[in-house]
Each structure stands twice: as C-alpha cells, then as structure tokens.
Amino acid sequence: MSLSLAFLIPGDLDSRTGGYGYDRRIASELRTLGWHVDVHRLDDSYPQPTVDARRHSANVLARLPSHQLTLVDGLAFGAMADEAEREQHRLPLVALVHHPLALETGIDAERARTLEISERRALACARLTFVTSRATVRSLASYGVSRDRIVVVEPGTDRGPLAEGAADDSFNLLCVASVTPRKGYETLVQALARLTDLSWQLTCVGSLERAPDTAARVRDAVDAAGLSARVTFLGELGEAAVASCYASADLFVLPTFHEGYGMVVAEAIARGIPVVSTATGAIPELVGDEAGLLVPAADVDALAAALRRVMTDAMLLTSVKEGARRRRDTLPSWRDAATRMAAALADVRG
C-alpha cells in the first residue's frame, strides 16, 4: 500500500500560528514515518475565499489522481462545501479541524451562520475528521459528524529547558498569540491596568498584521492605560527568538476567548512555566489544578485577581511552578501525534 497523502493548506505553511505549526510538524513527522506528503498551497483568503480562490481550490482537487488520500486543513475545508461534494466519491477526503469556523471571535451572526452551514456540508463529505482536542469533539456534536468518524490527535510538544524567569524581583509575563479578537488582548490590558502597583513587564509575541484594527485598538488601550513602558509587542518571531522569550518568562498569560487546543499553553508548560489562562479548549486538561489558574473568558475582574494572586502569593507561585514541571512530563511528543494520525489515515486508505 502506497503511503501517499495530499495535504491542502491555505496560505503560507511557515506562518507563525498554532494551526500552521501543527500542520508543519505533522507533515514533517509523517514523512519521517515513511509517508510521501505533498503539500498543496491554497489561497490565503480562506475562510472567506475569493471567487479566484474557490476556482483554484477546485482545480487543485481536480488534478489529484482518483483515490488519492487527501487531507484538508479546516481553515479552508469548512468553506469548500461545493468542492467537497463534487469530489467526495472520487477522493477519500479527510478534514483537519482545529476549531469550527463559526466559533471565531469577532464575526457577525450572519457570517457565523453561513460558515456553520458550509462546514456542516463539507464535513458530511469527509471519510474522517481529525480534531486537536476532546473539546472540539464536543463542538462538532451539532454538526452531524458521528463520533466514530472523529479522531483526536492532540498536538505534540517539544520539551524545552526549564525557564529561568526574570533576573530581578519583577515578573516577566509572556503572551504568545496573534493580536486578533479571539485572543483577548483587550481583556488583558484592562486587567493589567489594575496591577500597576506591582512590578511586572509583559512581552507579547505574535502577528500584528492578521487583524490590524484589533492591533491598533490594543496598542491604543496600552497607551491610554499608561502601560507603554511595561508592554512590548515583538510581532512574529522565529523559533529561536520565541524560545528565548519563554526562557525568561515567569508566568504565561493567554486570555483567549476560544481555543481548539492551546498549543502555546503546552509550550509554556513544557518549559515549566505556570499559566494564567481561560477555561476553554484543552487548556483545563493541560493546566489541570496544579500548573496555574484559569478564569472565565472576557472576565477582567477574574483575570486581574488571578494575576495578582500569583504575583503576590509566594506559596502559590511555588506550587504552580512545581505543578507545571510535573505536568510537562505528561505532554505527548510530535512523534506520538503523527503515529496516531498515520494509523487513522492508513485505515481510511485501506
């Protein structure tokens, strides 16, 4: 049996987001396991494709040989209902859903409804759907995808050296996330504005270009709160530079509204960094009750209180640091993730 996979991904595979990072590592590890993986780039306008983008996607699928096992990243697949329905009997289609498109923060109700209808149609054409967390399994319950056609493949994690933290008595806070509505940066700024009596610095790593209006609002909020000297936006960074940011962090903060998994939380825990985040996606499973504190999304009061507790309670800080170091030993590797995906793909191919 030929272990051949066509992997369709919208936009630049080298983009520095969790979803693209997942796709990169899975493709690489599958190749190590003996699979021939051809990555086909789709237009970066997905999940709101232009007419030309839809035409290009249809052509990419049409050029694939019949019976070619085809994995499509959910950022595009959910918006490719027509194309999926056209090709479902010729190609064994497999979806990779990081989180349902309709759950993206900041889109209006009409757009969310359109995306939900499209993704429901597209997923009905998939022989199998991969998701990155059990939370996403629950999210797909309303999409008509039977549980036996869903396989959870959690992201792997590269265990890094333990973080050293700040060299003085201040707190180095780190947030690694694109500045988009879903990541909750405005909530974070409001919470930090209540903590100016404490000694802290926040480093933000992530694109400022994906949602420029949001990025502008967040930076204006930082200026208005008088936090410009404490908050640094570094934009997208390479792997080595991101690793350096993790190494100097005392506390990882992610006030996200929704996550499919929460890869950056896992990356923080892999370096023994305690976490303050929200109870969404797989974050509660990653953090547990020992590696940090979780608060409701968009709750400024709760986020400010949690940050203050960790930064002022020495016993609590020691406890969550030790908890993060224990939990880092439970994180799966990328080889584990790819092995699980490979077995499920082989079943579809067979």
Average pLDDT over residues 329-350: 93
Assess whether 326 and 300 both reside in one domain. yes
Q: What is the model's pTM?
A: 0.87
Assess whether 65 and 116 both reside in one domain. yes
Assess whether 58 and 21 both reside in one domain. yes
Assess whether 247 and 275 both reside in one domain. yes
Q: Give the integer Cα–Cα distance in Å for 189 and 193.
A: 6
Tell me if 162 is assigned to some domain: no
Tell me if 166 is assigned to some domain: no
Average pLDDT over residues 235-251: 94
Q: Return phi, psi of residue 299, to 5°.
A: -100, 95
Q: What's the burial of 187, exposed, middle or buried (CB within 10 Å: 0-12/13-18/19+)? A: buried
Lowest mean pLDDT among 164-173, 268-277, 317-326: 164-173
Assess whether 144 and 37 both reside in one domain. yes
Using 50, 70 and 90 to split pLDDT, how confident is the model at 107? confident
Which among 317, 267, 24, 286 is positioned nearest to 161, based on CA atoms? 267
Q: Residue 213's Cα: distance from chain center in Å?
A: 21
User: Is the predicted pLDDT of residue 164 greater than 80, yes or no?
Assistant: yes
Q: Give the integer Cα–Cα distance in Å for 84 and 76.
A: 11
Assess whether 178 and 300 both reside in one domain. yes
Average pLDDT over residues 209-230: 96
Assess whether 43 and 113 both reside in one domain. yes
User: Is the predicted pLDDT of residue 1 greater than 70, yes or no?
Assistant: no
Sign of the CA dihedral running 293, 294, 298, 302: negative
Q: Give the integer Cα–Cα distance in Å for 331 and 287.
A: 11
Tell me if 129 is assigned to some domain: yes
pLDDT value of residue 2: 64
Assess whether 324 and 345 both reside in one domain. no
- Do residues 188 and 180 make contact, with C-beta atoms less than 8 angstroms apart? no
Tell me if 165 is assigned to some domain: no
Assess whether 30 and 148 both reside in one domain. yes
- Do residues 303 and 255 make contact, with C-beta atoms less than 8 angstroms apart? yes
Average pLDDT over residues 102-113: 89
User: Is cis: bond before 296, omega within 30 of 0?
Assistant: no
Average pLDDT over residues 285-308: 97
DSSP output for 187-212: HHHHHHTT-TTS-EEEEEES-SSSSH
> What is the share, in percent, of the chain residues with pLDDT greater than 90?
89
The total domain count for the chain is: 2
User: How does DSSP classify residue 103?
Assistant: G
Q: Give the integer Cα–Cα distance in Å for 337 and 156.
A: 6
- Do residues 72 and 80 make contact, with C-beta atoms less than 8 angstroms apart? yes
CATH of the domain at 263: 3.40.50.2000
Assess whether 136 and 256 both reside in one domain. no
Average pLDDT over residues 103-131: 94
What are the CA-CA distances from residue 285 to residues 164, 176, 187, 288 (Å)?
A: 25, 19, 23, 5
List residues bridging with 275 in a β-sheet.
252, 292
Tell me if 23 is assigned to some domain: yes
Assess whether 343 and 317 both reside in one domain. no
Using 50, 70 and 90 to split pLDDT, how confident is the model at 192? very high
pLDDT value of residue 327: 94
End-to-end CA separation in angstroms for the chain: 8
Q: Which domain holds residue 67?
A: 4-156+332-349
Tell me if 142 is assigned to some domain: yes
Specify the higher pLDDT residue, 18 or 318. 318
Pull the structure tokens for residue 309: 């507790």
User: Going by C-beta distance under 8 Å and a sequence separation of 6 or more, which residues neighbour residue 169?
Assistant: 199
Query: pLDDT of 4-15, one tens digit each?
Result: 999 999 999 988
Assess whether 311 and 179 both reside in one domain. yes
Q: Give the integer Cα–Cα distance in Å for 241 and 234.
A: 10
Tell me if 70 is assigned to some domain: yes
Tell me if 78 is assigned to some domain: yes
